[in-house]
Structure 1
Amino acid sequence: MFARYAYPPNALGYCGPAGAEAMLRGDATADIARRARRFEGAWSYLEFLASSAGIADPLDERVVEAYWVGGDLLAGVSSPALVAFLSERFAGQSGGSWRSAADRALPHHTFQVFEVYPWSGLLAATGHPQALSVLDQCRIRTGVVTAVSGETATVESRPLLSAPGGGLARGAPRRETVRWSVEGWSLLRGLGAGDRVALHWNWVCDTLTPDQADRIEALESRYHAVPSDHP
């Protein structure tokens, strides 16, 4: 599960060790686990979540799902404790609003994207379209598959847009072409039209239950720059 969500930014060279193709070899779980520890950002949250929940393994499926998708483990987390923890792990990291987030911090990927990374602040200060694009692609977003062609899929999803008066909002559904397999390697058993999926950068991470999709969207809406408009 970790590899499904972590592979795309690893393949793009944004985080994790070189050799991202190893993340798609689902039969080599020990190697995936070793590589997961070198994702400094994500691994910090997994360690914090596991410790908070009294779970020995940061790669326990409950921990990993809570970080990427959301789950019950988030309910028992202390926001001030998370900020204190990150202050040590992310010492010297500039940008973002996370240092003043002791009233709202959660060990979830949306917090990393919207409050730890500097892109939300850069967008608010400059309106630069690259900042909006990075936020849109870096978040875990939901979509519905409309067609599959070989190792790519057409997916209908809602992009992030700059909202009037500042901040962000989800736009109307649009279609995008994404990958779900590379040279026959994929962590999905298959993909078909109508599947509800999670997307990270240009990659289909997983198929979702309605509850999982709702959790992803609700947690994104929770954060400061993204007003909730989920029906």
Structure 2
Amino acid sequence: MSVRGTLLFARYAYPPNQLGYCGPDGAGALLRGDAPDEIARRARLFEGAWSYLEFIARAAGLTDPLDEAVVEAYWVGNELLDRVPSPDLVSFLRDRFAGQPGGTWAGAAARALAHHSFHVFEVYPWSAVLRRTGNPAAVSVLDRCRIRTGTVVAVRSEIATVRSRPLLWRDGVLAHGSKRDEVVSWAVDGRSLLPGLTPGDRVALHWDWVCDVITGEQADRLNACEHRQLALVSGGAAHPCCR
């Protein structure tokens, strides 16, 4: 088990777990950087994310789903995604999520990607709901559930102000709006997997949480994956991928 990969998983998995959307009870355990074995045990109980980690690792010839490169591939994107054939991924998901209602993934044999953005925009039903109804609640879920990039503007205790671009649905197109400031957390009761934040840091966000300080290359990968999915949601051609 890779300790670095395990802690990287926890950074991105904590916010939806804390909100009760996925994973086992007791989300605070994911912020215990001194207890990687417990985090690894809990990671296996994240039905969606763990399925992708297993599949990416197998496709890459790796034995550890919590290998740091595998975890990064799913949450952020990297070259390991090139080793995952789209038809094989859809077949795997069809077996793993049999009987579960969802979005457009079942017909995605030519475009499926073992990345969190694909899960959000195509496995979850919200994009399909949005295209069918224009429901603003669907926009809100997609906006918060995606891994998005931003820049830290200010830090106060365990709270940070981050400048990022929201998702907007206008005239049948899901696209980025103008940059705006949002208030998010990066620690809870003195616990965090980050050593700290500084204004100017480029960060990855998931729901109302700062997951990590990222490089420009990682931000480009995340943005490319998202543009790819936004084009598909809006009925356009796919953007070049995040690999």
Which residue matches 1:34?
41
Pairing partner for 2:147 from 132, 140, 145: 140
Q: Does 1:74 align with 2:89?
A: no
Match of 2:198 among 185, 192, 200: 192
CA distance in 1, matches of 2:27, 2:15: 8
- Quick one: distance in 1 between partners of 2:73 and 2:100? 24
User: Is it true that 1:150 corresponds to 2:161 in the alignment?
Assistant: no
Please list the CA deviations of residues 10-42 of structure 1 after superposition, one character each: whole Å capped at 9, or x if unmatched: 000000000000000011000000000000000
Q: What does 1:1-231 align with in structure 2 at a 5 Å threshold? A: 1-164=8-171, 166-223=172-229, 224-225=232-233
Distance 2:170 2:79 in 1: 31
Q: Tell me, yes or no, if the aligned pair for 2:86 and 2:109 is still in contact at 8 Å.
A: yes
Superposition deviation, residue 167 in structure 1: 3.0
- Residue in 1 that maps onto 2:3: none
TM-score (norm. length: structure 2) = 0.92
Of 11-20 and 217-226, more deviation after overlay is shown by: 217-226
Q: Name the amino acid aligned to 2:203.
A: V
Equivalences, count = 227
Q: Cα deviation per residue 1:92-143 (whole Å; 9 max; x = unaligned)?
A: 1112000000000011000000000000011111111111000000000000
**Aligned partners of 1:76 and 1:31: how far apart in 2?**
29
Equivalents in 2 of 1:130, 1:185: separation in Å? 31
TM-score (norm 1): 0.97
1:86 alignment partner AA: L
1:121-173 Cα shifts (integer Å, max 9, x gaps): 11111111111000000000000000000100000000000032x13001110
Aligned to 1:156, the other structure's residue is in SS state strand
RMSD between aligned alpha carbons? 0.9
Following the alignment from structure 2 to structure 1, what is the Cα–Cα distance between the partners of residues 162 and 110?
Answer: 36
Contact 2:131 2:233 in 1 (8 A): no
CA distance in 2, matches of 1:19, 1:63: 25
Question: 3-state DSSP class of the match of 1:153?
Answer: strand
